[in-house]
Amino acid sequence: MKIGKIIILFLSAAVASCISQFTPEIVSQNDYLTVNGLVTDENRCYSVILGISHPLDETSADKPAVKAMVSVSDDLGNTYNFTEKSPGKYISDSTVFIAQTGRSYVLSIEYNGNMYSSSLSALKPVPPIDSLGHEIFDREINASGKTEKATRVTLNTLDPTGSCHYFRWAFEETWEFHLPFNYLPREKRICWMSELSHNILIANTEALAEDRVTDLVLTTYNNSTDRGMYKYSMLVKQYSLSREEYEFWDKIRTMSQNTGGLYDVTPVSVTGNIQCITDPSEVVLGFFSVSGVSYKRIFIKDRLITPDHYTDKCVTDRVGRNPSLPGLGTLYFILNEFEDPDTGAKRWDITTIIGCTDCAYMGSNVKPDYWDEGFAK
């Protein structure tokens, strides 16, 4: 036993003394065609986005794949052509083509002398979203027990037919924000900002007794953002997936959540349902999705106690009112007028950042058409 302990101690010391930084060699990959396409039962134009990926050791963005021929065919032999509206973005004509539940579709691409095709995918119906909810709760910040207020937005859904086992969700957030500067006119202080979801939200109910998803957390926001300042709304889209597409998104989610360590999942390319017909050995990235879609919107009036996000970012200096300030209105702009609590003198907050003088630089000054009606309920 003593000899064993000595050997273990010796090995431990040897390992500890020989640790050095290891930088794995990244093997450059070829450029691959990337495809991002979605066809639903919505009455709208559909888009297929084509790009050329770069090797892992390059940091530049993908470049668009231009001058391709893109079309979608159904299981009845009809073919619908897409038109390149901007570099790499191909759009359908909604007056000619609207996908239908129960029909199957194939994406075809001609690019750079090669032919590409997706697998045949059926458009499965999707149930309506049952409900959206929210709650303000105390979230623990650290081990000391200190908490902060946060808002959690959740979803419940059910497919009573039991035919939709795989779901995906995406959403768009819109919120009203105010610049807290009284010297600006009202129309330059109140604006709206929107942002699309970034996380992969999927669920598999195949192993459950019923196709029910309960209290799925869509997002959580706190005082680090201005989402909780005044009014907040979210439009959620629910998609029905095939098992093949669910597995594709699951791989992407696993890869994005676990990269970073030496023993984590290697960030390899995740292939989808598209193949190169002229060269089967060529790797094609992305997925052509065919899905039903349902919508639901939530309006949240509950305000968090939100700190001022803009004064620290915007106020360059504080000066006495009516100062001799060269360039006022061209180099320096007045944001706020206030009374000094000690002297009673009128003072100004000024800025050199023109973007802080009009909220339209940060968002939109056009109120969404659903805003007043939605929050009046």
Q: How confident is the model at residue 27 (pLDDT cuts 50, 70, 90)?
A: very low
CB 293 within 8 A of CB 239: yes
Lowest mean per-residue pLDDT among 32-41, 238-247, 316-325: 316-325
Q: Looking at the structure, do residues 104 and 52 belong to the same domain, yes or no?
A: yes
Percent of the chain with pLDDT over 90: 69
Q: Looking at the structure, do residues 264 and 341 belong to the same domain, yes or no?
A: no
Q: Tell whether 156 is covered by a domain.
A: yes
- Rounded to 5 degrees, φ, ψ at 61 are -70, 160
Q: Looking at the structure, do residues 278 and 317 belong to the same domain, yes or no?
A: no
User: Could you tell me the sign of the dihedral formed by the alpha carbons of 258, 259, 264, 267, in that order?
Assistant: positive
**Residue 57, pLDDT score:** 47
- Reported as a single tens digit per residue, the pLDDT across 338-375 is 999 999 999 999 999 999 999 999 999 999 999 999 99
Q: Tell whether 366 is covered by a domain.
A: no
Q: Tell whether 296 is covered by a domain.
A: no
The token duo for 282 is 């060529």
Q: Which of 223, 118, 232, 228 is nearest to 173 (CA)?
A: 232
Q: Looking at the structure, do residues 115 and 262 belong to the same domain, yes or no?
A: yes
**Residue 304, pLDDT score:** 87
- Reported as a single tens digit per residue, the pLDDT across 263-280 is 444 445 678 999 999 999
Q: Looking at the structure, do residues 109 and 251 belong to the same domain, yes or no?
A: yes
Q: Looking at the structure, do residues 143 and 116 belong to the same domain, yes or no?
A: no
Q: Looking at the structure, do residues 258 and 109 belong to the same domain, yes or no?
A: yes
- Reported as a single tens digit per residue, the pLDDT across 282-336 is 999 999 999 999 999 999 999 888 888 899 999 999 999 877 888 888 889 999 9
pLDDT (mean) for 206-211: 85
Q: Tell whether 195 is covered by a domain.
A: yes
Distance, in Å, from the CA atom of 206 to the CA atom of 301, rounded to the nearest integer, reads 36
Q: How many domains, in total, are found in the chain?
A: 3
End position of a domain, from candidates 222, 241, 260: 241
Residue 175 pLDDT > 90, yes or no? yes
Q: Looking at the structure, do residues 222 and 74 belong to the same domain, yes or no?
A: no
Q: Looking at the structure, do residues 120 and 152 belong to the same domain, yes or no?
A: no
**Residue 145, pLDDT score:** 80
CB 233 within 8 A of CB 173: yes
Listed in sequence order, the residues at least 6 apart from 72 whose beta carbon sits closer than 8 Å to its beta carbon are 39, 46, 79, 80, 82, 92, 97, 105, 106, 107, 108
- Domain housing 332: 311-360
Q: Looking at the structure, do residues 227 and 134 belong to the same domain, yes or no?
A: yes
Q: Looking at the structure, do residues 216 and 248 belong to the same domain, yes or no?
A: no
Q: Looking at the structure, do residues 102 and 250 belong to the same domain, yes or no?
A: yes
Q: How confident is the model at residue 61 (pLDDT cuts 50, 70, 90)?
A: low
**Residue 13, pLDDT score:** 42
Q: How confident is the model at residue 60 (pLDDT cuts 50, 70, 90)?
A: low
Listed in sequence order, the residues at least 6 apart from 350 whose beta carbon sits closer than 8 Å to its beta carbon are 315, 316, 317, 318, 319, 325, 328, 332, 333, 334, 335
- Reported as a single tens digit per residue, the pLDDT across 102-123 is 999 999 999 999 999 999 999 9
Q: How confident is the model at residue 257 (pLDDT cuts 50, 70, 90)?
A: confident
Give the mean pLDDT of the chain. Answer: 87
**Residue 28, pLDDT score:** 45
